[in-house]
Amino acid sequence: AGIPSIELTGGGEPMVYPYISEFLDELSQYPIELAIVTNGASLNEKLQSKLKNLRWIRFSVDAITPETHSKVHRVPESVFDVVLKNIGQVVSRQIEDCKVGISFVITQHNHQEIEEAASYYKNMGVDSIRYTFTYDPEGEGALSLDVARQAERAMNHARSLQDENFKVFGTMRRLEFYSQPNT
């Protein structure tokens, strides 16, 4: 059909699709660029070996400690170590032309880890971290005004870690956008 690229993402974890292995095998037969958004927990070495033409992958981690990861993702604390292991393996594979990023959705459970997360994941060798806010109907990202201001300061401090090999993305604009009346 001439499709140049596919992004695997969604309202669930794409790596737990029952036929993901077969899908990746089939996809590798074509010159289609691949992008993935994953929580990283199921991206084992077998699946990693099937990632052909991968141009970017973003791990939705949202934490730097097992305790916080458990609260944000509602999983056992032990899952965090699996996620970190899988991120490390993808980074060490040095997949040609592939950018590895971290997604950090700011919540009431993890806002205190914003600044340190940039340093933490930069040291792991990822290419970027992207901060966003959770959506809530009130448009406040489920955060108090004071915490939202602290989050903005922390994101600004995290930007000081940017260099030619590591980028920090994040803005308060999404939060401000969602706080506007629906027109």
DSSP the chain: ----EEEE--SS-GGGSTTHHHHHHHHTTS--EEEEEE-STT--HHHHTT--SEEEEEEE---SSHHHHHHHHTS-THHHHHHHHHHHHHHHHT-TT-EEEEEEEE-TTTGGGHHHHHHHHHHHT-SEEEEEE---TTSSTT--HHHHHHHHHHHHHHGGG-BTTBEEEE-SHHHHHHTSPP-
Convert the pLDDT of each residue in 5-26 to its tens digit: 999 997 789 999 999 999 999 9
pTM, two decimal places: 0.88
User: What string of pLDDT tens digits covers the 183 residues of the chain?
Assistant: 888 999 999 778 999 999 999 999 999 999 999 999 999 999 999 999 999 999 999 999 999 999 999 999 999 999 999 999 999 999 999 999 999 999 999 998 999 999 999 999 999 999 999 998 876 555 555 788 888 889 989 999 999 999 999 999 987 655 455 455 554
